[in-house]
Amino acid sequence: MRHQPLQGGGEAPLTNQWHFGMKAHIGVDVASGVVHTLTGTAANEADINQMAAVLHGREEAVFADAGYTGADKRPEHADRDVSWDIAIKRSIIKALPKDLRDVVEPVERALSQVRAWVEHPFHIVKNLFRHKKLRYRGLTKNTAQLQTLFALANLVIVKKTLLA
């Protein structure tokens, strides 16, 4: 028997247990590594829908993974004067001829090293604070907890600067 997920809840039944999935979309300052914006959504929502929510408006460059492909073409970003550095989907890179792929892959690697700064706060929250499973039912409570955890992660990131 197939179960349908509840509308808008992001929950899905699985053998009488309810599993709640969510994503945390964060905006990170490249220079300091500090999280400036956080949005929590259901796990089945597309990443690209949250791009406008994680941008604060004073960006000069936006680095994002392939889940945000096409964000620069959306109407809500038409007036933004930023450099859009969004990862090329792996299937597109694999379809390129070998000589062109040899040029594109080092550029993508350099851009992914910049995007890795966004992953560092996730490392702190998941590994240092051991937050790997959701504790509560509902996006509001889980997002509130994530905001607290990422605020503490910001303190860990700037600890040496504050103590100097």
Q: Report the distance separating Cα 16 and Cα 8, nearest Å.
A: 19
The CA-atom distances, in angstroms, between 23 and each of 50, 58, 101, 106, 153 are 10, 24, 32, 29, 17
Supply the DSSP string of 29-74, one letter for each residue: -TTT--EEEEEEEETTS-GGGGHHHH--S--SEEEE-GGGTTGGGS
Q: What is the mean pLDDT of residues 32-54?
A: 91
pTM comes to 0.80
pLDDT at 107 (0 to 100): 93
Q: What is the mean pLDDT of residues 125-151?
A: 90
What are φ and ψ of residue 130, in 5° steps? 55, 40
More confident residue, 91 or 135: 91
pLDDT at 11 (0 to 100): 56
Q: Report the distance separating Cα 86 and Cα 51, nearest Å.
A: 12
Instruction: For residue range 1-37, list pLDDT tens digits in order.
Output: 343 343 345 555 556 666 668 899 999 998 899 999 9
Instruction: For residue range 105-136, list pLDDT tens digits in order.
Output: 999 999 988 888 888 999 999 999 998 888 88
Using CA atoms in the order 116, 117, 119, 122, what is the torsion angle rounded to 10 degrees? 160
More confident residue, 17 or 95: 95
Please give the helix or strand (H or E) that residue 114 lies within, else none.
Answer: helix 98-123
pLDDT at 3 (0 to 100): 39
Using CA atoms in the order 137, 140, 146, 147, what is the torsion angle rounded to 10 degrees? -160
pLDDT at 160 (0 to 100): 87
C-beta of residue 43 within 8 angstroms of C-beta of residue 23: yes
Q: Report the distance separating Cα 64 and Cα 36, nearest Å.
A: 15
